[in-house]
Amino acid sequence: MRPQVESVLNNLLLTLVRRLHQIFGWTIFVVFLLTGQYMARYHNHLVGTSDGARMLYRSRHIYILLAGLLNISLGIYFSYATQRWQRRLQIMGSLVIIATTLILLPAFFYEPLGSPDQTRLSYFGIIGMALGMLLHFLGKPKSDRTAVNSDL
């Protein structure tokens, strides 16, 4: 492929990944606000709810906030790697983060209804987000890694 065409495609993909994370992140942030309203209006601010269920609702609520802010920050700071293997790691990391964010949404509604030891959805959601961030870190361009280290 010609260098000019490849450069244009890389810039297009960079813009697409950034926009995807930003739009998805802000959408998840709105979902975070709506789940807060759900707890306030339909569960009376969790008054009278058992301690275990209240803890599960609140922690899943914060996990949704984490997922939204993580996607927003990726959309702001994402830089596309030059090496093909690094780009693949970055794309895989983005896909894992988006997929695991979608796992956290049903976890908010279903896990508080069960017992605290039945929280597989949020477990895989949090582990998946960590894996996605690890893939992004491994796929990060080397020049970005050294710039962070030189600031310390």
Q: How many domains does the chain have?
A: 1
Whole-number pLDDT of residue 92: 96
What does the pLDDT read at residue 145?
Answer: 53
17 neighbors 94 (Cβ within 8 angstroms): yes
Q: Which of 46, 31, 37 is nearest to 112 (CA)?
A: 46
**pLDDT tens, the chain, 152 aa long:** 677 887 787 788 888 999 999 999 999 999 999 999 999 999 999 998 888 889 999 999 999 999 999 999 999 998 888 888 998 999 999 999 999 999 999 999 999 988 777 889 999 999 999 999 999 999 987 765 555 555 55
Instruction: Indicate whether 152 belongs to any domain.
Output: no
CB atoms within 10 A of CB 51: 9
What is the pLDDT, as a whole number, of residue 146? 55
Query: Which residues span the domain enclosing 97?
Result: 3-147
120, 56 in Cβ contact below 8 A?
no
Cβ–Cβ under 8 Å, residues 46 and 97? no
Please state the pTM of the whole predicted model: 0.86
Nearest Cα to 28, choosing from 77, 93, 91, 73? 73
User: Tell me, what's the pLDDT at 144?
Assistant: 58
Q: What is the pLDDT of residue 1?
A: 60
Q: What is the pLDDT of residue 3?
A: 75
